[in-house]
Amino acid sequence: MNKDFFKQLNILYVEDQEEIRNFTSNILSSIVHNLIICNDGEEGLEAFKNNSNIDLIIADINMPKMNGLEMIKRINQINSKIPSIVTTAHTDSSFYKKSIELGINSYCLKPLDLYELIKNITKCLEHKFLKKRLHSDEFNFNDSTLELLNKQDSLVAILKDGEVVAKNDIFSKNFKVFDINLEKILLDREQFFSNIEDLKNTSWYEFISKLDSENVLIKIKIADVTRIFKLNVTKIEKEKAYFLVSLFDITNLNEKSNLFEYKYNHDLITGLYNLNKFHKIFSIESKRVRRYRKDLSLIKLCVKNIDEKIISYEDFLSDISDLIKNNIREHDICFKAEKSSFLVLLPETDLDGALNVSYKLEDILNTMLANKKLSQHSCFGVVELKNDDNEELILQRVTLALNKALKSDDERVIYF
């Protein structure tokens, strides 16, 4: 633990359960500069208004008078740049959806693991405080700079023109050569589709430094072990263009929380993204389409009259999902929709291209059905994004097209 870093922190901690509050606050107050302790959301909101130097909020969800999410929502209206961690026993999707909407940085499931909480605090703030420290000093590479870098829990390096000119010991141990291809190692790269064109025209570290998101996750293999890192990049010296790079290993962090996040975004039978994830990706992709004047098409498909009570129904859905994934392009995205239907989002694809994909999938799916000695056949609805389309309209149109195909005796691929 970076003790110097924690001794700078001013944290607002809000928890209504006395036993949890006393235990957690006793630990936190011994390691941070100032811990403001409150019993409920109303008290926490007032404390925030009266303390302008708060760096982080830690709050429980279920509290009397005002719950933690409502408190954070009101704090965001005052200052939306204060990071927050929520502690909760909730595992329902409505909690996670609200957390995303509020921009909550992290969460810890109860019963609390204080080691996990401390790691989450570090993940939220260490890069910000290191950047602040480097900005406050006249920037040069002396012994005190290297000493500062070595106090960090993250893998930290300073780049100039893409070359590492300073690094801490933990960075050196993990990277003999630091040369990354960001497009290949980005996780959840759909989140950055609206900006990905910019990556072709700039360096990866400049690209990351200009993003609004502070939750850029990458996957890197180190010593034959694949690790997941939170990546932060900040420009620290204007004239000479130095960049501070920090990599915080989150491979084993928040395992319970990550499982819950996975369940929220994925269909558990097929492993495909679900409609929750479709909402997010479509929003990002449609902005990219309009920004760069690209094409975007959507396919909705299902097998007509399939009986959901058949013994092998779940295996059947998994077979369909595998077949679709294996026969679309790498940047096409497949989702499990309602009941036995699927969506395929096709970036940079016009209507003719989407129809070609549909006919190809129809042929392959029907061959699979015949091999299983099933009399059913597959049906497809196909649409292309129009200028006045939003998510609701394009989903309505593709569903209408699919329903028409399901009712037709002849046409199994219908486009609108």
- Report the pLDDT value the prediction gives residue 375, as an integer from 0 to 100: 81
Max avg pLDDT among 235-239, 264-268, 399-403: 399-403
Rounded distance between C-alpha atoms, residue 71 and residue 67, angstroms: 6
Query: What's the whole-number average pLDDT of the chain?
Result: 88
- Structure confidence by residue, pLDDT tens digits, 30-40: 999 999 999 99
Stated pTM of the model? 0.75
- Report the pLDDT value the prediction gives residue 146, as an integer from 0 to 100: 85
The domain that contains 182 carries what CATH number? Answer: 3.30.450
Measured between alpha carbons, how far is residue 66 from residues 42, 50, 55, 110, 363 in Å?
6, 18, 21, 19, 56
Question: Among the three residues 223, 249, 275, which one is the final residue of a domain in this structure?
Answer: 249
- Report the pLDDT value the prediction gives residue 236, as an integer from 0 to 100: 82
Question: Among the three residues 78, 112, 146, which one is the final residue of a domain in this structure?
Answer: 112
In percent, the amount of the chain with pLDDT more than 90 equals: 53
Span 63-83, average pLDDT: 93
How would residue 323 be classed by pLDDT, with cut points 50, 70 and 90? very high
Rounded distance between C-alpha atoms, residue 310 and residue 314, angstroms: 9
- The domain in which residue 322 lies consists of 266-415
- Report the pLDDT value the prediction gives residue 180, as an integer from 0 to 100: 85
Both 242 and 343 in a single domain? no
Both 272 and 396 in a single domain? yes
Q: For tokens 């760069």, name the residue.
A: 292
Tell me the backbone φ, ψ of residue 300, rounded to 5 degrees. -125, 130
Both 297 and 200 in a single domain? no
Span 229-239, average pLDDT: 82
Is residue 197 included in any domain, yes or no? yes
Both 232 and 303 in a single domain? no
Residue 246 contacts residue 156 (beta carbons within 8 Å): yes
Both 380 and 272 in a single domain? yes
In percent, the amount of the chain with pLDDT more than 70 equals: 92
Q: Determine how many CB atoms are found less than 10 A away from the CB of residue 338.
A: 10
- Report the pLDDT value the prediction gives residue 293, as an integer from 0 to 100: 87
Question: Among the three residues 83, 112, 141, which one is the final residue of a domain in this structure?
Answer: 112
Residue 213 in this model has a pLDDT that exceeds 80: no
- Structure confidence by residue, pLDDT tens digits, 342-387: 999 999 999 999 999 999 999 999 999 999 888 889 999 999 999 8
Both 16 and 51 in a single domain? yes
Of 107-121, 191-205, 224-238, 299-313, which gets the smallest average pLDDT?
191-205
Question: Which of 87, 75, 7, 76 lies closest to 47, judged by CA?
Answer: 75
Both 301 and 357 in a single domain? yes
Both 235 and 280 in a single domain? no
Is residue 209 included in any domain, yes or no? yes
Q: Domain tally for the chain?
A: 3
Span 70-97, average pLDDT: 86
Burial class, 252, CB count within 10 angstroms (exposed 0-12 / middle 13-18 / buried 19+): exposed
Residue 291 in this model has a pLDDT that exceeds 90: no
Q: For tokens 């909705």, name the residue.
A: 300
Span 233-258, average pLDDT: 80
Q: Determine how many CB atoms are found less than 10 A away from the CB of residue 186.
A: 21
The domain that contains 336 carries what CATH number? Answer: 3.30.70.270
CA angle 360, 361, 367 (to 5 degrees): 100
Measured between alpha carbons, how far is residue 313 from residues 146, 248, 361 in Å?
59, 42, 20
Both 90 and 136 in a single domain? no
Pull the structure tokens for residue 77. Answer: 């209206």
Is residue 283 included in any domain, yes or no? yes
Is residue 119 included in any domain, yes or no? no
Both 215 and 335 in a single domain? no
